[in-house]
C-alpha cells in the first residue's frame, strides 16, 4: 500500500511501541514506520490469536502473523493485562511514542469484566509506563462512545450503547485526568468505521466493505439489513486513519479527537460502489437487523477540532478508497477465501 509520508521529523534512534500491532490498524502503523522511517525502532506487542473465544462465538483476540509478514521490527507476544510484562517493558526499553491499539475490539462482546480490564485498566498501566518513559501516548478510542447521539457527533456528547463503547469512554475520561497531571502528549483518536488492507483477520468483525466485497466475488447476493439505504455511517479509509495517528505525534494540544470523514454514507452505497468496481450485478437480499437497541443508525464525525489541533484532513472519498482497496479485496478472496 502506498502511503504518503506525513511527518518530516527524523525518528532516528526513536523507539515506538505499537500495542495491538498484529491487528488491522496496528499492523498498518507498523508498516508505515518501517517504510517511511526505517531508522526508527518499532516494537509490536500483541497477544495474537489463540483460538480462545468469547461467548458471542468470536475470537477473543484477532492478531494474526500474516498481518506482519515483511515486518522486520521486534515482535512480542504478550497480554497487556500482564503486569510482569509491563514491568519488563518499563525496565528494558525506552519508548518515545506509544501507539495503543490493543483492545477487545469486538463491539458485540458481552464479557464486561474482560472488556473493562483489558480496555480500561491495562490502558491506565500503559499511561503510567508512558509517563515513566516520557513517551507520547496516541491511543484508539472509538465512535462507539457516541451510541445513538445525534449527528454530527461531537466530543463531549456521548451515549454508549454497549460495554465496548463504555470502555472507550472510560479511556477518554482517564486520559483527561492524565492530561491534567502529566506533561506527556496524550491523544485519543475516536475512529469511526475503518476499512482497508489487513482487516481480513478480524473475521466477522471486519468492515462491511470487505465482507460485501467477498460476498460479491464469490457470486453470493449481498445481504444487507432492511432499510440499509437509511443506515448511515462515517466510513473512513485506513490511510486517513494512519495519517491521523502520525499527525497526533505532534498535536497542538492533547485531547480526544474524532477521526472520520465528516460525511455519512449508507451500507447500500458500499454495495453499489463495489458492484461497479467489481463489475458484478447481483441483487441484494434484505434481512432483519438483529442488533436493534444496540446499533448505530447514523454516525457522522464532527472533525473541526481534529483539523484544528492535529492538522488532519481526510483525503479519501468512499469512491476513491474502494477503488484503491479493490485489488486487495480480490487478493484476499483468491488467497484466503477461495
Ligand X SMILES: NC(=O)c1ccc[n+]([C@@H]2O[C@H](COP(=O)([O-])OP(=O)(O)OC[C@H]3O[C@@H](n4cnc5c(N)ncnc54)[C@H](O)[C@@H]3O)[C@@H](O)[C@H]2O)c1
Would you please indicate which residues are annotated as catalytic (active-site) residues? 164, 202
305 binds ligand X (CB under 6 A): no
Contact 1, 197 (CB under 8 A): yes
Between residues 63 and 147, which has the closer beta carbon with respect to ligand X?
63
Q: Which of residues 22-41 bind ligand X (CB under 6 A)?
A: 22-26
β-pair partners for 16: 42, 97
Contact 243, 285 (CB under 8 A): no
CB of residue 81 vs ligand X: minimum separation in angstroms? 5
Question: In this chain, which of 15, 58, 105, 175 binds ligand X, going by CB under 6 A?
Answer: 105
Between residues 65 and 280, which has the closer beta carbon with respect to ligand X?
65
Pairing, β 232-233 against β 265-266: antiparallel
How far is it, in rounded angstroms, from Cα 120 to Cα 19?
14
CB of residue 171 vs ligand X: minimum separation in angstroms? 9
Q: Is 16 helix (H, G, I), strand (E, B) or coil?
A: strand
CB of residue 107 vs ligand X: minimum separation in angstroms? 8
Between residues 101 and 239, which has the closer beta carbon with respect to ligand X?
101
CB of residue 60 vs ligand X: minimum separation in angstroms? 7
Between residues 30 and 140, which has the closer beta carbon with respect to ligand X?
140
* Residue in 314, 305, 307 with CA at minimum distance from that of residue 155: 305
Q: Which of residues 187-246 bind ligand X (CB under 6 A)?
A: 191, 193-194, 202
58 binds ligand X (CB under 6 A): no
248 binds ligand X (CB under 6 A): no
44 binds ligand X (CB under 6 A): no
Q: Which of residues 64-83 bind ligand X (CB under 6 A)?
A: 79-81
268 binds ligand X (CB under 6 A): no
Between residues 58 and 254, which has the closer beta carbon with respect to ligand X?
58
Neighbours of 259 (CB within 10 A): 29
43 binds ligand X (CB under 6 A): no
CB of residue 29 vs ligand X: minimum separation in angstroms? 9
* Residue in 175, 194, 198 with CA at minimum distance from that of residue 253: 175
How far is it, in rounded angstroms, from Cα 29 to Cα 44?
10
CB of residue 104 vs ligand X: minimum separation in angstroms? 6
Residue tagged 499492523 (cell numbers):
27
314 binds ligand X (CB under 6 A): no
How far is it, in rounded angstroms, from Cα 4 to Cα 2?
7
Binding string to ligand X for residues 85 to 104, with x set by CB under 6 A, is what? ----------------xxxx
**Number of residues engaging ligand X in binding (CB under 6 A):** 27
Between residues 26 and 152, which has the closer beta carbon with respect to ligand X?
26
The three-point CA angle 105-130-69 to 5° equals 50
Half-sphere exposure of 276 (CA within 13 A, CB side): 10
Task: Dig out the grid coordinates for 57 from the structure.
Answer: 462465538
Residue nearest to ligand X (CB): 23
CB of residue 140 vs ligand X: minimum separation in angstroms? 3
Cis peptide before 152 (omega within 30 of 0): yes
Contact 1, 36 (CB under 8 A): no
DSSP 53-83: B-TTSSBS----GGGGTT--SEEEE--TT-H
Ramachandran sector of residue 122 (left: φ over 0; alpha: ψ -120 to 50; beta: rest): alpha
Between residues 154 and 276, which has the closer beta carbon with respect to ligand X?
154
Contact residues toward ligand X (CB under 6 A) are 20, 22-26, 46-48, 61-63, 79-81, 101-105, 118, 140, 142, 191, 193-194, 202
Amino acid at each position: 500500500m502506498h502511503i504518503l509520508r506525513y511527518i518530516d521529523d527524523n525518528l532516528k534512534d526513536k523507539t515506538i511501541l505499537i500495542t495491538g500491532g498484529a491487528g488491522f490498524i496496528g499492523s498498518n502503523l507498523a508498516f508505515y514506520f518501517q517504510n517511511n522511517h526505517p531508522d526508527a525502532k518499532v516494537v509490536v506487542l500483541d497477544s495474537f490469536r489463540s483460538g480462545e473465544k468469547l461467548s458471542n462465538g468470536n475470537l477473543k483476540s484477532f492478531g494474526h502473523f500474516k498481518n506482519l509478514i515483511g515486518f522486520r521490527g521486534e515482535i512480542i507476544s504478550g497480554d497487556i493485562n500482564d503486569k510482569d510484562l509491563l514491568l519488563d517493558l518499563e525496565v528494558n526499553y525506552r519508548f518515545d511514542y506509544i501507539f495503543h491499539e490493543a483492545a477487545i475490539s469486538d463491539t458485540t462482546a458481552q464479557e464486561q469484566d474482560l472488556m473493562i480490564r483489558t480496555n480500561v485498566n491495562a490502558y491506565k498501566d500503559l499511561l503510567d509506563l508512558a509517563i515513566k518513559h516520557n513517551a507520547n501516548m496516541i491511543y484508539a478510542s472509538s465512535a462507539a462512545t457516541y451510541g445513538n447521539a445525534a449527528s454530527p457527533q461531537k466530543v463531549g456528547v456521548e451515549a454508549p450503547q454497549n460495554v465496548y463503547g463504555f470502555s472507550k469512554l472510560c479511556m477518554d475520561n482517564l486520559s483527561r485526568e492524565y492530561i491534567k497531571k502529566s506533561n506527556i502528549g496524550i491523544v485519543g483518536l475516536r475512529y469511526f468505521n475503518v476499512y482497508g488492507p489487513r482487516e481480513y483477520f478480524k473475521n466477522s468483525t471486519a468492515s462491511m466493505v470487505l465482507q460485501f466485497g467477498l460476498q460479491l466475488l464469490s457470486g453470493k447476493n449481498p445481504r444487507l439489513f432492511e432499510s440499509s439505504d437509511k443506515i448511515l455511517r462515517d466510513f473512513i479509509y485506513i490511510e486517513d486513519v494512519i495519517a491521523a495517528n502520525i499527525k497526533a505525534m505532534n498535536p497542538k494540544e492533547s485531547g480526544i479527537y474524532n477521526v472520520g470523514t465528516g460525511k455519512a454514507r449508507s451500507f447500500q452505497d458500499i454495495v453499489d460502489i463495489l458492484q461497479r468496481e467489481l463489475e458484478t450485478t447481483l441483487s441484494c437480499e434484505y434481512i432483519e437487523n438483529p442488533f436493534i437497541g444496540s446499533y448505530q443508525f447514523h454516525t457522522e464525525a464532527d472533525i473541526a477540532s481534529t483539523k484544528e489541533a492535529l492538522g488532519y484532513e481526510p483525503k479519501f472519498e468512499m469512491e476513491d478508497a474502494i477503488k484503491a482497496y479493490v485489488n486487495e479485496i480480490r487478493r484476499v478472496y483468491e488467497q484466503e477465501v477461495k
